[in-house]
Structure 1
Amino acid sequence: MKLCKNCGHENVEESKFCENCGSVLETSETETSVNKVTQEVPEDLAENEEVLANKTSESTPAEEASSPETVETTEPETADQVEADVTVTPTETAKESGEDMQDSKAINSQEQSNQETPTPAKKGSLSKKQITIGAVVVIILVALFGGYKYGSSIYTSENQIDAFVQAITDKDSKKVVQMMTTDDDHLDLTEKNVKPLIKYFTENKKALAEMKKDMKKNLRTYNLEIKKSGKKFLVFDDYKVEVYPVYPEVSTNQKGTIISVNDEKYTTTKEDSFDEELGPFVPGVYKFSAASEKLTESSESNEKTYNLFNSEDTEIDLTFSVMIIPIESNIKDAKILVDGKEAGKLKDGEGTVGPLVWHDGLTIQLTSGEGKDQITTEEYEVEEWEYTEDSEDDYPVSLDFDVVDMYKLEIAIDSFYSDIQDAVIESNKYDKESLGEYFKDGTKNASFKAIDEYITSSREKNKKKEFDGVWFYQEITDMAPLEKDQYKIDYEVTYFINGDEDNVTYKYTGVKVTAFTDENGKLNFEFIDLGDGGKIVK
């Protein structure tokens, strides 16, 4: 039996290869030599081989020790020796020839064996499939290592902060939302909700740079902070911006006030005293406004803008400065304008307007007349501290028109009736032309003829002792400006007749006059007409 040195399997003696592992089985040098001679020496040399073998077995140790060169170079001494040499030489030649043939056959036999039997793999060698698999594994490992190194350089807190700042600069609200997180369950991070944050930082570059610098120092800034948020691809640290929402405290003082945030209705107050916390809001810039349904249409809403980031920024005061303003004027009837819109009317030269919500630039003004006859007063700008509920000031705002003073006009009309009082006495001179100067176009004025007839009639009665004279009391009840220096007035005049207990009062309506001030500052006037001509007042 042949024992395989590779796997230890026992094989039959004739086996050249191991039946178990296919390894070549080793044979002894003698056996190999004999087999080669037996198989490869030609039949015609068999006898010589046998003689050579016998001779070899009979040789003495001394002869075996002699080298071939010595035999070949030694001169033959006897014929027997020469004959012996001659006999040996063909044998050796045949042996050498046989060995060459044997080697050639052995090579041919080996090649034939290689073609018939697959060559077994040597111990420790790899197949082509194993090499391919190994190469793929190496490539994967290299790719994973490179990806890890690249990811480690990308997914850092510094890079996430830079990306967050860039998203704000680009006004990319979607990306900003993706990079943010919060622990507040009531805060929804949406593209709409982060716009106040983006608006603030895009309008304040210095604040954006400060926020970036502080976040890289792991500081909480502008209610923002960079924090780890799990793993990215199960390997790299994931970072997000933690948002700490703001809950502003809003206060106002009017029931039914509509509170809006960034022009969107947020809530409506149910009591006059309102002080509640609103939110949550993402930090940023916000516009808060309040409009009360109780206030007049001419009132504007209370509107303020706040930057909401820290706790000290969270008090929103939307309290209204409500005021009622008293007004007086030198014209009895006029319209009250608040910021150019009608908000009330004067009666007998007095009136009030309100309640009004104060705002910067609140103005009060009066107007009278229509179209080309319309006149206005100057605007009065109301201060915040005036006429509020807490103010002790209750004096009226005086808004006078640039017109003649009504009471001065009364005095001027008194002069006219005083001249009539003198003219009705027959003993006094009646200067018709002088009295006619109180009328436009003088004595030719139609209204003057009625006055002239009264004076002439009274003088006749006085001459007959039927009339002892008269004195007058008049009062302007209404005055409205018309065109430049022209007015429409209503007035009443009472006739007190001497010796007669029955007095007569006439009311003149729609009387048109022209009033002006002369160079000496004296007020002058003239009647354009006497309106309805006067009606007796019972």
Structure 2
Amino acid sequence: MESHQFFCPNCGTEISRNNAFCPECGFNIQKYLSNLQNQSNKQNSSPSNSEEKPSPQSKSSTNKKREAQSATPAQSLRKPPRKPIKKWKIITTFVILIVLIGGYLFFNNYYGKKATADRLITAIKQDQGKELASLITSNDPSFKPSSSNVEPMVTYYSRNKDKLAGLKSALVSSGYVNGHLKFVNSGHKFLIFNNYKLEIKPIYPKVQTNQKNATLKINGKTVANKMNTTNPKKFGPYMPGDYQIQTAATVHGHKLVNNGDYSWIDPSGYDLDVQSILQTISYTIKGQPNSTVYLSSKKIGKIDKSGFYDIKDYPFSQNMTIQLSMKTQSGKVVSSENTKVDMSMNDTTITPQYPGFATNSDAEDLINSVWGDLSDGTVTDSDSANDDDYDTYFVGGSASNIYQQMIKMVDGYQKDDNIIDYEMTPSIKKVVPYDTGQTMVTYDVKYKFDDEDHDHVQIFEYNSIIQKSGSAYKMKTNVMDHKVDDYDKDE
């Protein structure tokens, strides 16, 4: 008897022949069996089958053969079972995704505007020429950024740290710094990320000298051994920044050198026109005896006892400065302000000023006011002194010992019957720095007393320390040093 169980020819599941469809995969079982039966009928109706009727034994054998044949296509159509996905493949795929996402986020930030600006600022601060050059591009194809030619920008911002803060702010905000510096997106890194760079417009200075055959150096590098003309000559391209232009030539046996410092961070065409004039200058420096003289920060001598130092036919430099240094009366060493020298000072006298110290004019104004109000009768006692605000000339006001001595002295003259009239005339002899913010003034006072038939004259020398108070100077101390002269003069 033919078995009702067989294997699904589609998925290999054991099922009943009575099923219309495979319960596992849905294969049409009845259609399949019908097709199989039709094939069998065709084989039975063939000539060989009509000639010989099979015996029961052969029939049984034939049925088994058919079942075997029917099973064969089912097995050949069976699909292999699905293999489970291995766990390590899932983990690997997950790790790759994490790396890709993390890498994207990292590089998107690294090449972002703010991060790139931070790297640029750091490269300037730490003088990283190679890194800085990699963050710079140019709109001029003839300029190729390198670790050496970007150095002038590093020099400029190292000397102007306040400007560096402004640069960072401009990079992050608008990206526009000035006409020569812009922060732009110059393309893409790896076709994905922004590529921000500092785009520069190079500078082309034009240098002119009044001497032919002059040697020209820009930031220490010789760019012309002999300037064969006095007409302007163009050089460049250069990075915006700080530059020193030096021209040198021998004129009448004397080597003349002109050094000029230029900050070309956003220069105009006019700024880039350099007039390098090779010439000599003569002048006299006035100051305290034994003061040290510095010419452009180089020590060149000391002021003699006369209070002067002469400079004759010295090669003129555009940035020439004069400074004095001296030991004050209190023992401190102080320096004067730098006085810039230009050709208008040729054959003149230069008097460098000390910051915080009184000038001769300041000292004269105060000393003349202190003694003038006593001499002309404006102040004769404490009441008149109060009316005239005489105490404003002294540190401590009316509580000052000097103020009280002055009032007492002039009050005594007023009450002396032997003095018909009196007159006091001060004259400045020396004004020198004494201590921080204090100046010592040495001066004479000429006393003239009218004694009816003659004038009695006395001259005394005083040393007074004055100091700045607001916009004016006040007297802190006033000591009579010695008598200079004493004589009578007939009227």
Instruction: Report the TM-score, using the length of structure 1 for normalisation.
Output: 0.39
What is the TM-score of this pair, normalised by structure 2? 0.43
More helix as a share of residues: 1
